[in-house]
Amino acid sequence: MVRLLQIEFIKLWNNRASKILITSYFVLLTSIALIAAIKFDIGPVKFHLADQGIFNFPYIWHFNTFVTAIFKLFLAIVIVSMMANEYSNKTIKQNLIDGLSKKEFIASKFLTVISFSLISTVFVFVVSMILGLVYSDYNEISIIFSDLEYLLAFFIKLVGFFSFCLFLGIFVKRSAFALGFLILWAVLEQIVFGLLGWKVMSWDSAKAVKDFFPLESMTNLIKEPFTRLSAVQNIGQQIGENMSFDYHVYWYEFLIVIFWTVLFVYLSYVLLKKRDL
């Protein structure tokens, strides 16, 4: 396992574009701390974003995992490019000649996916913990370590999404086309949902089916956190809007994403096994 990871990280380290993208990704994860510095002081209007409770425990786990998940596209490019480079540089063929089996090759890629996801999760945990200890109004241990399921959801979400990118990289071979296919897939999920609700079944039933789609199921793991803010809740009450939503992460949502993850990794292996390199 360590040997397989070493092979992959050596390849990534020797690729200048990958180093830039990975560095940019973690810089962006850290930049969430800059949100705390946003202040508006215009005459009588004084606004400090950190005072709105976004860094309060345990809300910070929900907010930070949702926002930082947006940056996953940087690592998606790395993973897709990682596979494209294997074909363009003929390293995949050389690895197999050197004794690496196709199963080990896929295992090395999936271990890289897990490593990126785990490092990202730990990074978000550390940044969130620091911001929370500095800005949170609640510092009781029981409150600090509640709602940590959002970190698990963040990890599973990244593993699922990167596994999908891994499959697309093997399926398409070209990074630009693979990323284009990823965007197309996201659009197709919405089109299928619209057709189901319009022609086939009720909109509620269509929404239930949509929740099983790959990208949609990953999105559902961490729902938007903004309507949880007290300021938004107060505005909703003033205009007569019901802001009571379900923000919980459910076990079956984990299972759906895990199912797609296993399927994408398996299909990647099957595709590589049958393909003439």
**pLDDT tens track for 125-162:** 999 999 889 888 888 999 999 989 999 999 999 999 99
- Per-position DSSP letters for 95-122, written without gaps between them: HHHTT--HHHHHHHHHHHHHHHHHHHHH
Q: Is the pLDDT of residue 46 over 70?
A: no
Q: How far apart are CA 268 and CA 106, in angstroms?
A: 7
Torsion of CA 45, 51, 53, 54, to 10 degrees: 90
Q: Average pLDDT, stretch 241-252?
A: 80
pTM of the model: 0.90
Q: Is residue 130 helix, strand or coil?
A: helix
- Give pLDDT, residue 45: 52
